[in-house]
Structure 1
Amino acid sequence: MRIGIVGAGMAGLSCATALVEAGHDVVVFDKGRGPGGRMSTRRLTTDLGEIGFDHGAQYMTARDPVFVARIERWADSGHVARWAAAGDDAWVGTPAMNAPIRDLAAHLDVRWHRRIDRLTRTGDGWTCHGDDVDATPFDAAIVAVPAEQVAPLVEAHRPDWAGQARATPSDPCWTVMAAYDRRLPIGADRLTDRGIIASAVRNSSKPGRAGAEAWVLQATAAWSTEHIEDDPATVERTLIAAFAADSGVDLPSPVATSAHRWRYAKSGRLGQDALWDGGQRLGVCGDWLPGSRVEAAWLSGRRLAGMVAPPA
């Protein structure tokens, strides 16, 4: 079949990879500029040079045997490495968190800068409507985006799925990136549950990273929700001050900072692997279905691909 997938995050690319391996013709559309999504890496130009920050997912775990095998292949090719600071089963992309996403996308037909805002179905199949999108009908359509973005795309075709997506909202997260001209006198490379800061990570300690001292501060879901519309500069000052106060020592002022608001940072959990309507040939995958982890997103996409009927 010719299959159109909306969303080039881990779930969408995992699904696309498995479908291509099964012999299908797959096109993936994504509104972003390139691979990453919630596994993105942000680079800041500073007086100390360019500094990278994993400002979304900080690491991923590998527990399911199928995903463990995928991780091991990425490890062999240099796309991931273990990161003991987050646990024995924690892995990070190398040289940046988006490395596995880039590897998946490199082997697929992914159309970047393509925002899909509507799906229609006729006798010829599915058409993805959006900016600069090829309107050639697809035999099947798959939606692999956060729950909040699923409902508008599937409402006309599966209103029950739209309702499930609305009932499984994501938590937001304000993230602040801060670079310093010296190593901070903090022993641990990863701190969690520090007041309004859910996670503080010394990004420069991860395998494959080089350059200046770099920290990623992520606020709690509750604080992020309360301050979701705050000015980024105010968020930067607040989180950096909270980080400094929690450290208990005098910290230098950062040489560069940036804030990013993730409206859909941590997904909810519906309790299903994926959704597939064989009659309409419409599917949905993503971490909001099985649970909020990179591994869950990959497995969701893979399992949806297994639900799709093989080519005749």
Structure 2
Amino acid sequence: MKIAIVGAGIAGMSCASALQAGGHAVALFDKGRGPGGRMATRRVESATGLVAFDHGAQYFTARDPAFSHAVAQWSAAGVVARWPAAGEDAWVGTPGMNALVKASAQDLDVTWNSRVEAIASVDGGWRLAPVSEGLFDAVIVATPAEQAVGLLAPLDATMAAAARDCPSAPCWTAMVAFADRIALAEDVLRDRGMIGWAARNSAKPGRSGAEAWVIQATPEWSRAHLEDAAEDVVDVLLSALAGEATAPLPEATVRIGHRWRYARVHARDDGALWDAHRKIGAVGDWLLGPRVESAWMSGQTLADRILRPARV
């Protein structure tokens, strides 16, 4: 089949790779400027040089045997590395979290800067507007649940309802760089008041450059301050980090706030959704669990459902 996948995050990439290996022609469309999504890495020029921040997912774990096998292959290729500071089973992309998505995209047909606004059934196929004039035999939605609702609602009420049942908690994130190391011995802070997570990004494997921190607020605080100005949020998060340090923070050389409206998802346990008759489906962490591993496994689950009839 000729298959379109809307969303080129880890779930969409995982599904596309398996389907392509099974003989299907797969095209992915993503609204982002490049690989990353919620595994994004932002690079910023500063007075002390180039600084990088993993401002989405901070690390991932590998517990499922199939995903563990994939991680071992990525590790051998230098795409991922262990990060003991976050836990014995913690892994990160190298030199940034988006390295994993970049590596997955290399052998796939991905069109970036392509926002799919609607999916229409036309002459027994599927058309994606406004990004493609051609028709596809099948279409798969691989976006966060809130975005999937809008695409699925006109096509499949049951799938749209499933997505609607999986709200994501927001997350305000501050990316801050300093000319000097701050007075904190730990590279990772968890659950410190309004700080849900803070990490010395520059201490992750494969990183270099200035002292760089990613500070993420708790879902509760983020929800209560969702519409606050980014600069104000950075001020508050920096003040909270300063309260954990044993000496005043040095002057910040980079200060960036980023609001993730759809961060940690309240997930179902379907694995994936697929209508074999109409050839429409959905994948994502919202169908299995709020982890990178779950997103990857969701993509594999749907690919297996599609490919299984061909193996009989």
Is the structural similarity TM-score above 0.5? yes
RMSD over aligned Cα, in angstroms? 1.1
Return the offset for 1:223.
Answer: 0.6
The answer to whether the Cα contact below 8 Å between 2:234 and 2:255 also exists between their aligned partners in 1 is yes
Q: Is structure 2 residue 120 aligned with structure 1 residue 120?
A: yes
Q: Match for residue 138 of structure 2? A: 140
| SS of residue in 1 equivalent to 2:97 | coil
- Paired with 1:51 and 1:70, the residues of 2 have a C-alpha distance of 29
Cα deviation 1:18-74 (Å, max 9, x = unaligned): 000000000000000000000000111110001000000000100100000000000
Residue of structure 2 in register with 1:277 after alignment: 275
Task: State the AA in 1 paired with 2:83.
Answer: W
The aligned residue for residue 5 of structure 1 is 5
Q: How far off its partner does 1:153 sit?
A: 0.9
| Residue in structure 2 matched with residue 178 of structure 1 by the alignment | 176
Q: Is 2:287 the partner of 1:289? A: yes
- The range that moved more, 75-84 or 115-124, is 115-124
How many Å apart are 1:123 and its aligned residue? 2.8
For residues 256-291 of structure 1, give each alpha carbon's deviation from its aligned partner in whole angstroms, at most 9, with x where no partner exists: 111111011111111210001001100100001101
Aligned amino acid, residue 305 of structure 2: M
Instruction: Give the CA deviation at 1:248.
Output: 4.2
1:83–1:90 CA contact under 8 A, matched in 2 = yes
Q: Measure the CA separation in 2 of the matches of 1:248 and 1:220.
A: 23
Provide the residue aligned with 2:151 in structure 1.
153
- 2:199 maps to 201
Equivalent residue letter for 1:174: W
Structure 2 match to 1:93:
93
CA distance, structure 1, for counterparts of residue 297 and residue 165 of structure 2: 22
Measure the CA separation in 1 of the matches of 2:123 and 2:16: 24
Q: Which runs of 5+ in 2 are unaligned?
A: none
Amino acid at match of 2:210: A
Instruction: Supply the distance in 2 between the matched residues of 1:110 and 1:268 (Cα, whole angstroms).
Output: 28
Runs of 4+ residues deviating >3 angstroms: 309-312
Counterpart secondary structure, 1:137: coil
Percent of residue pairs bearing the same amino acid type: 50
- Return the letter of the residue paired with 1:264: Y
- Per the alignment, residue 264 of structure 1 pairs with 262
Report if aligned partners of 1:268, 1:289 keep a CA contact under 8 Å in 2: no
1:49-100: CA deviations, max 9, x gaps?
0100000000010010000000000000000000001111110000111001
Aligned equivalents of 1:30, 1:169: Cα separation in 2: 21
8 Å contact 1:177–1:214 — kept in the other structure?
yes
The letter of the residue matching 2:35 is P
Instruction: Report how many residues are paired.
Output: 310
Q: Distance in 2 between matches of 1:42 and 1:267?
A: 22
CA distance in 1, matches of 2:21, 2:89: 28
Contact kept in structure 2, 1:23 and 1:311, CA below 8 Å: no
Say if 2:182 and 2:245, in contact at 8 Å, map to a contact too: no
For 2:251, the equivalent position in structure 1 comes to 253
Alignment-mate amino acid for residue 47 of structure 2: D
Q: For residue 230 of structure 2, what is the amino acid of its counterpart?
A: P
For the Cα contact (< 8 Å) 1:24–1:311, is it kept in 2?
Answer: no
8 Å contact kept, 1:81–1:92: yes
Residue 311 of structure 1 and its aligned partner are, at CA, apart by 5.3
